[in-house]
């Protein structure tokens, strides 16, 4: 059985987004993947609260602009707003199952 390194929800979200941003940096064309907007629509259907709704609209704008540097900075920002963006982020769908497990189990080499 694998030993799971203790990470709280916010640390896992940050690691997941760091891994997803790494995927995007290796292949920026993925910002145009229509599945990202589809995933954002699905997230939107199940999201309540004005701060989260505003972040969903911010995600739409970030994805449509295709500015990877701004997107990366905002989603990885260690702030309350960055946390809101991570909570409703569609980027997780870009990760493989192996990458997701690596984040959960704390294996940074596989996650990257």
Domain positions in the chain: 9-111
Check whether 112 has a pLDDT greater than 80. no
**pLDDT at res. 102:** 87
Are 111 and 19 in contact by the 8 Å Cβ rule? The answer is: yes
The band of 59, judged by pLDDT with boundaries at 50, 70 and 90, is very high
Average pLDDT over residues 90-108: 87
Mean pLDDT of the chain: 89
d(CA 50, CA 31): 25
Q: What integer pLDDT is reported at residue 109 of this predicted model?
A: 52
């Amino acid at each position: 059985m694998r030993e799971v390194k203790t990470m709280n929800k916010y640390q896992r979200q940050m690691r997941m987004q760091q891994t997803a941003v790494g995927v995007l940096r290796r292949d920026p064309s993925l910002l145009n993947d229509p599945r990202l907007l589809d995933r954002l629509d699905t997230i939107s259907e199940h999201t309540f609260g004005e701060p989260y709704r505003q972040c969903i609209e911010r995600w739409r704008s970030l994805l449509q602009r295709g500015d990877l540097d701004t997107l990366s900075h905002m989603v990885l920002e260690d702030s309350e707003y960055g946390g809101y963006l991570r909570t409703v982020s569609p980027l997780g769908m870009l990760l493989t199952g192996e990458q997701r497990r690596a984040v959960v189990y704390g294996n940074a080499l596989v996650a990257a």
